[in-house]
Structure formats: structure tokens, C-alpha cells
Amino acid sequence: MNEPIYVTQPVLPELAEFIPYLEQIWKNKILTNCGPLHQQLEKELCEYLGVDYISLFNNGTIALVTALQALGLEQGEVITTPYTFVATAHSIVWNKLTPVFVDIDPETSNIDPKKVEKAITAKTVAILPVHCYGIPCEVEQLQALANKHSLKLIYDAAHAFGCEYQGQSLLNYGDLSVISFHATKVFNTFEGGAIICHTAEMKQRIDRLKNFGIVDETTVDGISLNGKLSEVHSALGLLQLKTIDKTLEARQKIDENYRNFLQNIDGIKCISRLHLEKDNYSYFPIVISERYPLSRDELFEKLKANNVFARKYFYPLMTDLNVYQQFKSEAPNAKQLSEQVLCLPMYPTLIIEQIQMIVDVIQECAK
């Protein structure tokens, strides 16, 4: 039996390259609380991503919770997608706000702005869309809606590290964008995340909120969490930045190979990515339609029997989870996609023979 192939495998630098950073941390004795490596990573990320201000976090979820708090959203409804990872919806409920789940456009897998507009009520305070798989939302339409109805617009950009759209970073759209640096992401710091914002004042507010709301030794101006990224995590981020372009190139090749190999299999559709100036090929989702002899779940099992661990991102929908029953709503496009989608293994060290083997299993079942 071949080695197991998981949906992803983290990129790691050579261990030897990490040691000098650890030596520096051991020497300085500054382990956390926005130390020199944290500051350096914020600076280098702003330059690499082409954004004005970034505030690092210990993970994307705490960053999302803090982003909603930073915009002063204390009560009301937040329109979001049910086709996402639980953290998106959790961040709304943690802020005692009400999630309103709106259906997606099945072509992009992102929230449908026309349906967003229909869902806006007097209680709506914000829209929280997700750039699912790093595919951009319809950012202009969503911004126009936010402007028209005076709503805050926060992007869950957990999958969108490095994407550029219409001449700039995708992370520049909206009031705030939140990214994740989790082990399973394109750019990882083991655990980590960040908020991207547009002004120095907002960055200062976010920086305070991620540090318990502390202003100075005797003043606390918010009831908030500890969301700081440590120096060790920041050091890893600095090293990862050195190879990120190579990582993205490798992902692009894998995306191309999958698309070439899968194009003639009836009933299998690769979700298309918009033409971006820069894409990150975050995931490789395929849709298994009725024309394919196996259901999505059967193909999932078949791959598993061949030691290939694809994932059903994103199934079940938020609206089908028991914990979200009180916020239930109809989202037929999201429902259908969540029952037909399968994310195939996608990571830079996946070799062409492995891709071919995965495609062979899918092809074999199509006969």
C-alpha cells in the first residue's frame, strides 16, 4: 500500500534555518507581547502582501472575533455564508451577534450579493463574506451594498493569503480582512492569523484588543482576549516568507495537472478559479455530479481505500449543524455544493505520480 496522502501537508523550512532564530529568542528572552520578530513579520507581510496595516494574531478565529469587536458591533444581524468553516459563524455568535445565513453562487462558491441584498433588514449591522478556496467574492457589489445600507464589511479571507485581484491585494477590500496562518494553510506559522486594516488608528485599536484591551499599565479600555502571536511563531513566519513564491508556483502546477488530467471524466467538474493577477491555489475542490457513477461519499470512501484522504470542505453546512438550528435558513445552492464537493490533496510537495494515481482512482470508478 502506498503512503497515505492527506488533503494537505504543511510547508516547513529546513530545521537548521530555524535554529538561529531560536538562538536569538533565547538570548533576548523576549518570547511574546509583540516583540522584535513579531514587529518584523508585520512589516515584511505588509510589504509582501501590499497592504497598509496588519496585526498578527495567534489564530484566524480569535482574529475574526476581534475584527467584529474592533468595528464596534455590539448587537444586530450579520449576514454570512453557510458554506464555510465553523469559525466564521462562531465569531459572530461569540460577539452576541445574530448570524443570518445567505445562499451562495454555485459557480464561485461565495455568497451571492443579490441574496445578500434581500436579506438586509433594519437590524443588519455587517456582512461577513468568505473568499472560499481563495476565490474572490464579488467585492464591488458587496461594497456597494455596504455603502448603500451603512453596513460594515469584514472579509473572512482565511484562504486568501497572497491573492491579488484587480491590481491589488484581495485583502485590501472591505473594512477589515482576516487571514489564517494555520498549519493547513498556504502560508503557515504552525498556528496564526492576522487582521488587515486601512488606518493607523484602527491598527492601534486592534493591537489593544488583542492584548486584553490594555492601553497602559493602569488603563484597560475593552473587555477582550489575548490574541497575540508569539516570537517563535513569528520567526517561522519570517522564514516561510522566503519561500512563499516557490510554494505558490508549485501549487499552480498541481492545479494545472489536476485540471488537465480530470478534464475528460464525465460527471467531474473542477471548480474554476477567476483569472487573478496572483492566485494562491489554496484548495483543489471538485464537484461530483449525478452523471458520475458514484456519489461524492462513495468516491470519498474509494479514495480512502486507496490511502487518499480527501476532505468534504465544506460539509455539513452551518445551517445543518445542531448548534446553529436556531439560525436555520434555506440555502439550496450551498446545500447541493456541500453534498457534491470533495477537496483533493493539494500541497507543494505532492508529486505528479501521486496526482496521476489519485486521478486514476477517479477515472477507474467512472468506467
Of 66, 69, 84, 234, which lies in the binding site for ligand T4K, with binding defined by CB under 6 A? 84
Which residues, listed in sequence order, are joined to residue 152 by a DSSP beta bridge? 126
DSSP of 178-222, one letter per residue?
EEE--TTSSS--SS-EEEEES-HHHHHHHHHHTBTTEEETTEE--
Among the listed ranges 16-24, 119-127, 155-163, 197-205, the one in contact with ligand T4K (CB under 6 A) is 155-163
| Least CB distance to ligand T4K at residue 207 (A) | 19
Which is nearer to ligand T4K, 138 or 265 (by Cβ)?
138
- 82 binds ligand T4K, rule: CB under 6 A: no
Place of cell 522564514: 239
- Give the per-residue contact string, 280-319, with ligand T4K (x = CB under 6 A; - = no): -----------------------------x-x-x------
- 81 binds ligand T4K, rule: CB under 6 A: no
| Least CB distance to ligand T4K at residue 221 (A) | 25
- 189 binds ligand T4K, rule: CB under 6 A: no
Q: Which of 46, 37, 59 is nearest to 200 (CA)?
A: 46
Among the listed ranges 156-164, 257-265, 274-282, 288-296, the one in contact with ligand T4K (CB under 6 A) is 156-164
Which is nearer to ligand T4K, 180 or 340 (by Cβ)?
180
- 165 binds ligand T4K, rule: CB under 6 A: no
CB 102 within 8 A of CB 113: no
Among the listed ranges 7-15, 65-73, 219-227, 316-324, the one in contact with ligand T4K (CB under 6 A) is 7-15
d(C-alpha 83, C-alpha 120), whole Å: 19
Place of cell 497575540: 228
Which is nearer to ligand T4K, 60 or 113 (by Cβ)?
60
Residue 331: CB partners within 8 Å, gap ≥ 6?
82, 83, 101, 102, 103, 104, 317, 319
d(C-alpha 211, C-alpha 226), whole Å: 5
- Give the per-residue contact string, 53-72, with ligand T4K (x = CB under 6 A; - = no): ------xxx-----------
| Residue showing the smallest CB distance to ligand T4K in the complex | 60
The DSSP letter of residue 76 is S
40, 263, 286, 305, 317 from 313: Cα distances, Å: 34, 21, 10, 19, 10
| Least CB distance to ligand T4K at residue 200 (A) | 25
Task: Cell numbers for 162, please give them.
Answer: 497572497
Is the torsion defined by CA of 291, 297, 298, 299 positive or negative? positive
- Give the per-residue contact string, 9-48, with ligand T4K (x = CB under 6 A; - = no): xx--------------------------------------
- 145 binds ligand T4K, rule: CB under 6 A: no
Q: Which of 188, 227, 190 is nearest to 206 (CA)?
A: 227
Task: Cell numbers for 84, please give them.
Answer: 464555510
Full strand arrangement of the beta sheet holding 124-128 = 53-57, 193-197, 176-180, 152-156, 124-128, 77-80, 98-101
- Three-class SS state of 84: coil
Beta strand pairing call for 53-57 and 193-197: antiparallel
| Least CB distance to ligand T4K at residue 130 (A) | 5
- 7 binds ligand T4K, rule: CB under 6 A: yes
- 116 binds ligand T4K, rule: CB under 6 A: no
Which is nearer to ligand T4K, 83 or 292 (by Cβ)?
83
- 94 binds ligand T4K, rule: CB under 6 A: no
| Least CB distance to ligand T4K at residue 124 (A) | 21
| Least CB distance to ligand T4K at residue 285 (A) | 12
| Least CB distance to ligand T4K at residue 293 (A) | 26
Binding-site ranges for ligand T4K (CB under 6 A): 6-10, 59-61, 84-85, 87-88, 130, 156, 158-159, 180, 182-184, 193, 309, 311, 313
